[in-house]
Structure 1
Amino acid sequence: MHRLRSWLRGWALWRTPRPSQILIMAVNALAVAVAAVTVVLVPVSIGQNDLVRFGVLAGCAWAATELTRHVEQRRAVAHSPAVAHIDSAAVWVMATTIVLPPSLALGMVVLTNVLLWDRVKRRRTPPYRAVYTTSTILLGTSLAVLILATGLNGYPGLPATAVEFGVIALAAAVAWAVNFGLIVAAIASHNPTTSARELFSDLSGQILEAGAAALGVLVAITIVTTPVALPAVLVVIVALHRGSLVTGLEKAASIDAKTGLATSARWHHHAEQLLVRAQDAGTGLGLLMIDLDHFKKINDTYGHLFGDRVLRAVADELRGEVRELDACGRWGGEEFAIVVADIDSDQSLRRIAERVRLRIQGIVLEAPAGEDVETVTITASVGGVHHVPDASTTVDDLVAAADSALYEAKRDRNTIRVYLTAPPLPTALAPERTEAPPPS
């Protein structure tokens, strides 16, 4: 008994925040209860053909897991902890939910998640997380079963009309929403400082799961009508996973890991596109360089982990200020860069620069435990240039001009310097434009 208590107390679950513990245990208990009620409410007997089809689908799920194991492992390494992971087994769960009795569909949920944890996630995912993920999928699948049992005349079985295909689409959407919503809730309860932007930053990636659900409908049709064609489905699944990995790696290479902003290379590419657009349209372009004041002192005093928190907080404020059209990126170290498209004057750019400065000045972070102060504030210096580019203007020209303005701002700290230039871009900026409004 003592060993059992020691083993239970050693669970990683107890090291999570209290709200996270409550949510996880409540969802686990609810999933078991709802799954049991679903089996009772939809009492479909299991026939020999059902067992054969379940065996074939389970074998395909195992084969797909093995064929995509290395891809999934690399995706798991690159996956952000603040983003819901994509359920790569949705195809088999969806197919089973449509054509097999509820007990087998729920059994497929458990089987596929055990396979994924054992072959892909064992070294990176604590068991309590795997159990919680399984519970969220069980809940979603149970609700999908209830929808299908209500809306399909021949449930379990293939849809016969367009309306019944719509019922399947609704069941798949509900299953996804339950799983995604509960995973997001768990991430938020585990780390309350995670912003909504981070939690929902990869919604486009969920398209892969939607595709897997749609493929699950085709698998359901195939297992009933032409089972020998299932190997072709495996080829499609492997291709989809490898394609998603390439897309994910490309995205990771273009996004700064600490801030979520564009890397300097990606920012430069986006800035060049905006420059060409401005040249063609004859519109103004603004470029701001932002440098955090005394950032080295912050790192030296509070540590580099706290410094990373500062960078993330600043990045959140910059995202809140710029438009989707504009290019915002981490230039390097504690320096950030913004290209503002369709800007009409240096005064307009000056107002944006001042808002950026005030946003950063308004950041208040709780100091690490054991420090003499309770909170830490941040300031930044901002240099900018407004320019109507001609064919000879380059992004590097604008960066150099904005960097010169930033150098001027750094002399006083926590201030802005914005210049106006006209083509051709001069090497020296007009002195009458060097003064900015005094910092508040």
Structure 2
Amino acid sequence: MFPLFNFSLQINGFPIKEAKAELRKIQSIPEQEFETFIENKKQEIVDYHLKNNSSYQKIVGKTTFNTWNDLPIMTKKDFQKPLIERLSTGFSLKNVYVNKTSGSSGDPFIFAKDKFSHALTWANIINRFTWHGIDFNSSYQARFYGIPLDFIGNQKERFKDFLGNRFRFSIFDLSEKVLEGFLNEFKTRKFDYINGYTSSIVLFAKFLQQKNIVLKTICPTLKVCVVTSEMLFEEDKILLEKQFGVPVVNEYGASELDLIAFQNRDGEWQVNSETLFVEILDEDNMILPYGAAGRIVVTSLFNKAHPFIRYDIGDIGILDEKSTPKKPILKKLIGRTNDVAILPSGKKSPGLTFYYVTKSIIEDDGNVKEFVIKQTKIDTFDIEYVSETELNQEQIQKIEAAIALYLEKDLVFTFARKEKLERSKSGKLKQFVSLLK
């Protein structure tokens, strides 16, 4: 088959052949020399931006640095100014890749990558998918993503789908009738893999569970399901593997950076050490040892157009104790730093704690399809859910008792049954939101 995907990158000015060669070169560096490679790349990219990027010079406050820990932590707030003011010398809006983050963290911004750096991102993604027998040039993708609803944006995305050999399932309406339509596509198309937002794919799996259908029996070409952009809970992974009849792979990335971690064939969440440097920091910006939970801070080692150096991505995670410089392993992704509930006692708790507790109770009977939790006051939380029948008093009391046990007593909950939940423009579902100022 003609390598249409590679060709589309090459023709758009992204040197994919050179990027693949560079990736192979990096991957061939022996473990004992890899730390030196990382240190050299860190020095190189910082020196480059201190010399060529006036925006980064202002953030650092000088044009040289002594130690890595002296460098400031960048946040999304550093990017809330016109992109043209953030580009390095020699780069313009015409010779870079420009995109916008989804805004799921509440701070969307426009970013840029130089063309080689963007090609390297794709080389990395292509490489990771081959771990599970997927070839972007020939494998057919069932894509569960949002899509622009305006005519031009929609057509552009559809054309990209054609080049990427994928069929898109729009996830803005996930009613039973629409899911029935999804199922019919799987009966007639020879999909090799599923890729998309976790919450939408889980909802489709619950629909299959209701109908007592294993997807692979009606779509025998299906090999694997790759979920991304939202938390994958262990019980959801079990459900997906059961209803799809194929392995489920967890992907973690950020559009402004790269693929951050991808599940390897041993089931480990392998961190991308080829193009990124990932650190876990505490509240005082001190580097934490492997095994400790902290803020995920990432440096893009190749992006010369736009600095992402010690960039706080807004997530909390843990690197496994068995990590090495060449093969860091993400042990756990705990959630977002801005998804923290502040309780009346002063206690701070990740919003996902509510989600875990509530999820374990209300999903027992399969009635509730999905739900979100919103903190509206210091002691008040709204739970919005989609279900076939309304939650009964016994279920509500169970949830309240579990939350009192895991968090604290005297919290107030309101439950609202909805036809469908509000998703972001990109189609993501934010599972916990604090509306406190």
Structure number with bigger Rg: 1
Q: Higher helix fraction: Structure 1 or Structure 2?
A: 1
Q: Higher strand fraction: Structure 1 or Structure 2?
A: 2
Q: Which band: TM-score by shorter chain? A: under 0.3
State TM-score, norm by structure 1. Answer: 0.23
State TM-score, norm by structure 2. Answer: 0.23
